[in-house]
Amino acid sequence: MSKKVVVIAAIISFLLVAAVVGPWLYINVIKDDPPPRLTLDTVPAETTTSIAVADAQGIDGEWSVAAGSVVGYRVKEILLGQDSEGVGRSNAVTGSLLLSETQVDAAEFAVEISTIRSDSSRRDSQFTGRIMDAATFPTASFKLSAPISLDSEISVGTPIQVQATGDLTLRGVTKSVTFPIDAQYDGSTIQVAGSIDVVFADWGIPNPSNAVVTTQEHGLLEFLLTFTR
């Protein structure tokens, strides 16, 4: 075997190793871990006391989304053969919640698409441009379409889980969705957390895959909302 052939073989071997090791190093060593799923904040156990919903003046009535609320997405990605996750989030959230006695009468929230950010400016540019077209469809929103029944009694600091059904609007397309949510009252605020599985084609959303990154055909819309009077 000539020296030239040996050199060429060595270069090819190096490139093959780099193609495998490079993405692995980036995802597992260099790149920050994706943020964890959005869930209810933990309320200290000592604040837990039992109160009747019907008698709780702090529960009934209208509530508004407060600062610190988060809405975003989570999509599984494959970067040159390596598994990863793309996560983008925004605090530019508005919404309201209406409670009466033992049910949620109305609820809605919306997020400004152009404000959603991830750990990659290139991903953000694709998301707000080709994928979600924020210039044409500036917001994504959800609106409850059926009341949610609550238990006759709740406990401050104790999470409850219920099913929510409503209209989810993404990229100008509105579809009905049903999904579980977790809610918790801490005596002054109400926190609501949940996620909705979104099949991109159902909302006319282009698949985020490109020449470098491959994604699944669906992703999660995540939210953690804090409501105050």
Question: In the CATH scheme, what architecture does the domain 36-228 have?
Answer: Beta Barrel (2.40)
Q: Residue 92's pLDDT is what? A: 98
The whole-angstrom separation of Cα 14 and Cα 162 is 54
What DSSP string describes 73-106?
A: EEEEEEETTEEEEEEEEE--EEEEEEEETTEEEE
The whole-angstrom separation of Cα 136 and Cα 114 is 11
The per-residue pLDDT string of the chain (229 residues; one tens digit each, 9 = 90 and over) reads 565 554 454 444 444 444 444 454 444 444 568 899 998 864 444 444 444 443 445 688 999 999 999 999 999 988 767 788 999 999 999 999 999 878 999 999 999 999 999 999 999 999 999 999 999 999 999 999 999 998 766 678 888 899 999 999 999 999 999 999 999 998 889 999 999 999 999 999 999 988 778 899 999 999 999 999 8
Domain boundaries, the chain: 1-30, 36-228
| CB-CB contact of 218 with 196 (8 Å) | no
List, in order, residues 6 or more apart from 224 with CB less than 8 Å away: 38, 39, 40, 41, 69, 70, 191, 192, 193
Q: Residue 158's pLDDT is what? A: 80
Q: Residue 14's pLDDT is what? A: 40
Sign of dihedral through CA atoms 17, 20, 22, 28? negative
SS3 content of the chain, % helix, strand, coil (to 5): 25, 45, 30
Question: What end-to-end distance do the CA atoms of the chain give, in Å?
Answer: 80
Say which amino acid occupies 185. Answer: Y
Phi and psi at 172, nearest 5°, equal 85, 0
* Largest interatomic CA distance in the chain: 90
The whole-angstrom separation of Cα 148 and Cα 157 is 20
Q: Residue 42's pLDDT is what? A: 44
List, in order, residues 6 or more apart from 100 with CB less than 8 Å away: 60, 61
**Could you tell me the pTM of the whole model?**
0.81
The whole-angstrom separation of Cα 121 and Cα 188 is 37
What tokens were used for 83?
């598994």
In 12-28, which positions are buried (b, 16+ CB within 10 angstroms) versus exposed (e)? Answer: eeeeeeeeeeebeeebe
The DSSP code for 37 is P
- 3-state secondary structure (DSSP) of residue 142: strand
